[in-house]
Amino acid sequence: MNEQEIIDAVIGKAKEKLQVFIDECNSQKKPLCDLRIDWKNPHYEKKELQHLYMLRYFYAYLLEFWWLFNFIKLDRFNIFSIGCGAFVDLLGLFTSNKSYGKNATYCGIDPVDWEYRDFIRSILPHNYEINFQQQRFEDYVEMPDGKNVLGRANVIVFPKSIEYLDTSVWKKIVEETDFKENVIYLVMNAMDFDYKKDVYKIDYFAKLLETKEYNISDIKEKTVFVPQWFCQFPDSPQYPSDVSDSWFFKLPSQCISYAQCANEECYLKKYNSPIYSTGSFQYKIIKLVKNDSQC
Ligand SMILES: C[S@@+](CC[C@H](N)C(=O)[O-])C[C@H]1O[C@@H](n2cnc3c(N)ncnc32)[C@H](O)[C@@H]1O
């Protein structure tokens, strides 16, 4: 499958599944008020919100990871993804061309079992060793093999909205982990409104690694809002137009309460298109190198 086919397949699946949910609500005369992603308390365990997330954000986030992995130069990727969701980061690595022909190990940690993981896994190459643990990061590392798996990582991916993570335990986690790799990349892509809070946290993780004899050797960062930033990728795949132009735009009108609804904060009315641009995309990548290594 090429990148365009992957995007078409994931978005097509999300549209189909969300339509089933909407039809069910309509048959029960239930309005769609709960179909909203509240960033403070997102409830990703609800399948309909996973479908909405994929419809609205998957395309942009995939291209973001695609972009991010271009900065990471490694012969072999051992990825530890905190809050991995549907494995969009791993798909980004795969589509970035950096991994063709290379082996990758991936351990994704998330308390939520995203429906899309199995599908995304099925399109990834067999030379990827993929594991998933349905846990909070803080609990996973307390399991017998947790710190060994973290210690083998050379790429640690932090989720958007890191605020879910309990940083009070990070010091102990880093102290007790035997980090084996000479080079470790910390990767964070953040919401525009969360950037300052989130970046403070990966800086903190980097500081903790400095106490384990790592030095920061490089930092890549984008902190500014640039509208239509995808214009830099003329060959990038497209969001499927049948979904964006007609179906997504008409989503609010599928709600039985649409005609009499005065709620200007209705999620479906307010966000009735997918994210196409990296305008609000902000990221930081910190490369750390072990003191005594030649990297
Ligand atoms: C905004 S989503 C990002 C998902 C994915 N990384 C992506 O880019 O699409 C944040 C994810 O973090 C997960 N999460 C929340 N608290 C967590 C924790 N304590 N440890 C690990 N993951 C957590 C959520 O379940 C959710 O799937």
Question: What is the 3 state secondary structure string of 222-261?
Answer: ECCCCCCHHHHCCCCCCCCHHHHHHHHCCHHHHCCCHHHC
In this model, does residue 38 exceed pLDDT 90?
A: no
Q: DSSP strand E in 143-205: where?
A: 155-158, 183-190
Domain limits, the chain: 67-227+280-290
For residue 81, the ligand 1 atom closest to its alpha carbon is 6
Ligand 1 pocket test, pick from 84, 87, 137 with the greatest ligand atom count within 8 Å of Cβ, gives 84
Q: How confident is the model at residue 234 (pLDDT cuts 50, 70, 90)?
A: low
The pLDDT score that the predictor gives to residue 64 is 85
- Average confidence (pLDDT) over 153-165: 86
Q: What is the pLDDT of residues 82-106, one digit of tens each?
A: 999 999 999 988 887 666 667 789 9
* pLDDT for residue 232: 46
CA of 107 from ligand 1 middle (Å) equals 13
- Assigned superfamily of 67-227+280-290: Vaccinia Virus protein VP39 (3.40.50.150)
Which atom of ligand 1 lies nearest, measured to the CA of 109? Answer: 21
Quickly list DSSP for 194-217: GHHHHHHHHHHHHHHHHTTTEEEE
Using the predicted structure, report yes or no on whether residue 231 has a pLDDT greater than 70: no
d(CA 5, CA 13): 12
Distance from C-alpha of 283 to C-alpha of 289, rounded to nearest angstrom: 20
Instruction: Give pLDDT tens digits for 273-288.
Output: 888 766 677 889 999 9
The pLDDT tens digits of the residues spanning 243-263 come to 987 898 899 999 999 988 888
The predicted structure's pLDDT at residue 130: 95
Residue 284: its H or E element: strand 282-290
Q: Say how many Å lie between the CA of residue 54 and the centre of ligand 1.
A: 14
Closest residue by Cα to atom 11, ligand 1, is: 83
Please indicate whether residue 13 or residue 66 has the higher confidence score (pLDDT).
Answer: 13
| pTM higher than the cut 0.85 | yes
Mean pLDDT of 175-186: 97
Å from CA of 112 to ligand 1 middle: 8
Predicted pLDDT at 222: 84
Q: Which residue has the higher pLDDT, 28 or 200?
A: 28
Distance from the CA of 113 to the center of ligand 1, in angstroms?
10
